[in-house]
Chain A
Amino acid sequence: MNKILEVKNLTVMFGETYVVDNVSFDLEPGKVLALVGESGSGKTMTALAMLDLLPRSADHKKGEIWFNEQNIFDLDPECMRKIRGNKIAMMFQEPFTALNPVMRVGKQITEAIDAHQRRSHDEKEGRLNELMERVKLPRAIAMSYPHELSGGMRQRIMLAMALSCSPDILILDEPTTALDVSIQKHVLDLIKQIQETEQFAMLFITHDFSVVNMIADDVCVMKEGFVVEKGPKDEVLKTPKVQYTKHLISCIPRLGDKRGRLPG
């Protein structure tokens, strides 16, 4: 098995509370690992730890995260910055707040390129065209400001941002939760399709097993900071070992009764 990233016994504490407790998992190139759990189970904190971007108040962290034969926690800030957005990219949950309101979205897509590569204006324009095409948005949209776009469009912009430097690993934190169900499906299909062509490793965070079913190869179930179950998708979905997983699977919403937010 060739691992691209290895999380070993990760523990994160806010003061005395454990929010991530002894979590271990691996990511493999070309594979999708879904990290599933209820709200507050520590999924986002696990993902932020992988970028060494835990909130300041997370005062204790233990464990190791190995990437490219280096432990991420041992890297100096500048080395870590060069990994973020370049080797390991992340896309956030909230399409309504994760974009800078006063910067054109095209400019925001190329921010990571500016941060990591020396590219001429023309090369960047070329890459921007490619990315807009990849996320199936018209090129002209790149000139818009975020408030002019719908939730689904912003989500695609954020996806283009994350893909801009062709990362080895893409982390998606509930990328579709805030979207309307039908738009959710489109964005998921798009993500799946891009992952299949580019073959990066993906960590997909969600609390929704129907999404897991669509997109994942492996599943890692978290509860209150612990990993309670881990394995190939089909195995976990068909024969869940713990009660908590069974409960989550039984919560799969039927189409139509999901908490829906109208696209902006």
Chain B
Amino acid sequence: MNRRITFGITIIIILALVAIFASFVATHDPLELDLSLEGRLQGPSPEHFFGTDNLGRDVFSRMVYGTRISLSVGFIAVFISMVIGLFLGGVSGYFGGWVDSLIMRIVEVMYCFPTFFLIMMVITFLGANIVNVMVVIGLTSWAGLCRLVRAEFLTLRERDFVHSAKVQGVSDMRIIFRHILPNAMAPVYVSATLSVGGAILVESALSFLGLGVQVPTPSWGNILTAGKNYIDYAWWLTFFPGVAILITVLSFNLIGEGLREKLDPKLSESR
């Protein structure tokens, strides 16, 4: 297997295990305060691996729980955007005509809005919590995937096996989902993997701005927020969450790029 994919997947599996077994991995209660002068803003030590924050909470444990947020936002948001993108892109590319024009106009409108500001607006409206964040990221990030799927469908729908299914009397929806879609999945996997990283970044940014996961629930983004006021003398508060975000996003991108490399030659071969 491709080395980038192996590396990326290893990291993601480790993070997933950390997220699932957060209560075992964490060394402290992530919400436990220690407001004593010695307890606050301690540097990394064997007792507190990543130090403590301005309220004396253990940063390592907070980050361990934050992994849950980041990964679930990444996966669920991308799942939502995939369902929408696959459905609308498939219908658009398969049927063409006015259905296609309509869906493509919607996609263009989505492209016109700066997505991040759109998300910020909607979250401000609906209220900041993790469920809203996942759903809103999902609802606003399907346009690229929709275009990609549509383009795949435009070529695949002219293939003989699609005609052959039509001649058999197979229904349109079944042709779209059982015959064409499985043949269009390779680029979809690539794009979805890359979007997971993107969604995690957006969540961190939202939490950093106070529009995502609300304190005291820990997320990588809001640990960063707390850290920004102390960046001069408590580097660990921004360094560790920053690195965690970097590594996670990088891992998803490596998997995506690796997949692209692996799948593309096969794609051109079978066309």
Contacts and interface: CB of A to CB of B under 8 A. Distances in A.
The answer to whether A and B come from one shared complex is: yes
Interface of A: 51, 53, 56, 81-86, 89-90, 92, 94, 97-103, 111-112, 114-116, 158, 161
A243 B163 CA distance: 35
Contacts of B159: 97
Interface string B157-174: 001110111111111001
Contacts of B270: 101
Given A92-B160, A94-B160, A115-B174, A100 B179 contact: yes
Interface of B: 96, 159-161, 163-171, 174, 178-179, 182-183, 270
Contacts of A83: 169
A161 B183 contact: no
A85 B166 CA distance: 8
B165 A100 contact: yes
Nearest to B166: A53
Given A100-B179, A100-B183, A103-B182, A51 B161 contact: no
A94 B163 CA distance: 12
Contact of A100 (B161, B167, B169): B161
Contacts of A82: 169
Contacts of A114: 170, 174
A86 B179 CA distance: 19
A84 B169 contact: yes
10 contacts: A51-B167, A81-B169, A81-B171, A84-B168, A89-B168, A92-B167, A100-B183, A111-B168, A111-B170, A114-B174
Contacts of A85: 167-170
A51 B178 CA distance: 22
A219 to B, nearest CB: 24
B167 to A, nearest CB: 5
